[in-house]
Amino acid sequence: RKEVEQDPGPFNVPEGATVAFNCTYSNSASQSFFWYRQDCRKEPKLLMSVYSSGNEDGRFTAQLNRASQYISLLIRDSKLSDSATYLCVVTARGNAGNNRKLIWGLGTSLAVNP
Amino acid sequence: ETGVTQSPTHLIKTRGQQVTLRCSSQSGHNTVSWYQQALGQGPQFIFQYYREEENGRGNFPPRFSGLQFPNYSSELNVNALELDDSALYLCASSSTGQGETQYFGPGTRLLVL
């Protein structure tokens, strides 16, 4: 089983639609969770951190369920500019001292159509 | 923009050659992480440097090595290049005071022929 698994995608939705991405992780000791966005041929950019209480930033809502080892990202009223790949990221203890490393999912591609 | 820069932006090498990629971290950041991202894949962690010392390593062979300098900029060196090393190499900087939030440079796209 992969350490971080995401919906395979791609998702094709019309403008204004609501779309949800899911991500599961295998390491119950994982402590921090993030969603990054990556545009084609560009570097990943932090979209939002994911907190246990859930958090919202405008049209974006992230949820964490530690019991099920599951995080989600909801995009409401999707825009053409939301078209990108969305990457789920989980921290895990590294193999040196107290460092942590980020484990990345493969990403889910979203295309918002006019 | 994140303030993280990488050079060169693109590079073409042949099998067996060696390559050095460079990264300048964001001002105030003391940690640099390197990732390899193959087409259609998520980034794979190569290693991390914190205050000039290696601070964790992913599943990459020893021919992938690195350095961090006193100004916290960093280099990634790859010896004996293989075709499968063709990928986007991403550098991310972070500050221990900000948790694990990492800020990425634009990447170096390496093609090995």
Strand-pairing partners, residue B112, are B13
Kindly state whether A101 is in contact with chain B, defined as any CB-CB distance less than 8 angstroms: yes
d(CA B80, CA B60) in angstroms, rounded, equals: 13
Residues A66-96: tens digit of each pLDDT: 999 999 999 999 999 999 999 999 987 655 5
pLDDT at residue A100 tops 70 = no
Which residues 36-55 of A have a C-beta within 8 angstroms of B?
42-46, 49
Residues A11-69: tens digit of each pLDDT: 999 999 999 999 999 988 888 899 999 998 889 999 998 988 889 999 999 999 999 99
Task: Identify the three-state secondary structure at position A7.
Answer: coil
- Determine the pLDDT at residue A51: 83
Average pLDDT over residues A2-15: 90
More confident residue, A102 or B44: B44
Please report the sign of the dihedral spanned by the C-alpha atoms of residue A107, residue A112, residue B4, residue B8. Answer: positive
Amino acid at B53: E
- Determine the pLDDT at residue A93: 65
Kindly state whether A17 is in contact with chain B, defined as any CB-CB distance less than 8 angstroms: no
- Determine the pLDDT at residue B18: 98
Residues B49-85: tens digit of each pLDDT: 988 888 888 889 999 999 999 999 999 999 999 999 9
- Determine the pLDDT at residue A41: 83
* Residues of chain B contacting A, Cβ within 8 Å: 2, 33, 35, 40-45, 48, 50, 54-58, 90, 99-107
Amino acid at B55: N
Cβ distance of B42 and A107 shorter than 8 Å: yes
pLDDT at residue B98 tops 50 = no
